[in-house]
């Protein structure tokens, strides 16, 4: 069976920045172990836990951001599949906006740094093509929503 992890692509909008596409910043956390890779908040599903509960729990544990501080965006869910040490892993990402863009991020011991980054910098930090594709899909989803307003 594949390892399963769930998390959130968390973003914030900086209202004062123009143009609108440039006002979106994504949260990435840098692991304090291994290759020190950058990842959105996510983690392994506990036995009996449902996927969205895992995503919310991990985001609270790893970034100090709770459900009450997030607005989950409708219609966005991405699944990544990759191998970790020869075993298949599935990662589900929902998309959520930080309601108050000034809210502080609080890291756990699992991460040593965090960054709020616009799309291109976020893709560069993320490194992996599948995670870059997920960030780009999030940006397209948000821009399409902005166009409708």
Distance of CA 5 to the CA centre of its chain: 12
What is the rounded distance in angstroms from the CA atom of residue 8 to the CA atom of residue 30? 15
Between 28 and 70, CB nearer to ligand 86P: 28
Q: Does 37 bind ligand 86P (CB under 6 A)?
A: yes
- In the list 15, 16, 18, 35, the residue contacting ligand 86P (rule: CB under 6 A) is 35
Q: Does 4 bind ligand 86P (CB under 6 A)?
A: no
DSSP character string of 45-93: PPTT--HHHHHHHHHHHHH---GGGEEEEEEEEEEEEEEETTEEEEEEE
- Please identify, among the stretches 11-19, 31-39, 114-122, 137-145, the one whose residues bind ligand 86P according to the rule CB under 6 A: 31-39
Residues that bind ligand 86P (CB under 6 A): 5, 31, 33-35, 37, 39, 42-44, 80, 82, 84, 89, 110, 128, 130-131
């Amino acid at each position: 069976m594949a390892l399963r992890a769930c998390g959130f692509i968390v973003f914030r909008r900086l209202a004062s920045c123009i143009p609108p596409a440039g006002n979106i910043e994504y949260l990435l956390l840098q692991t304090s172990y291994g290759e020190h890779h950058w990842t959105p908040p996510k983690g392994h599903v506990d036995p009996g836990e449902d996927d969205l509960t895992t995503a919310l729990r991990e985001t609270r544990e790893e970034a100090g951001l709770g459900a009450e501080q997030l607005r989950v965006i409708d219609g966005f869910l991405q699944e990544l599949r990759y191998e970790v040490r020869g075993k298949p892993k599935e990662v589900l990402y929902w998309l959520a906006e930080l309601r108050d863009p000034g809210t502080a991020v609080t890291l756990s011991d699992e991460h040593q740094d965090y960054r709020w980054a616009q799309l291109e910098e976020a893709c560069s930090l993320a490194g992996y093509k599948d995670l870059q594709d997920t960030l780009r899909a999030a940006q397209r989803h948000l821009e399409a929503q902005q166009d409708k307003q």
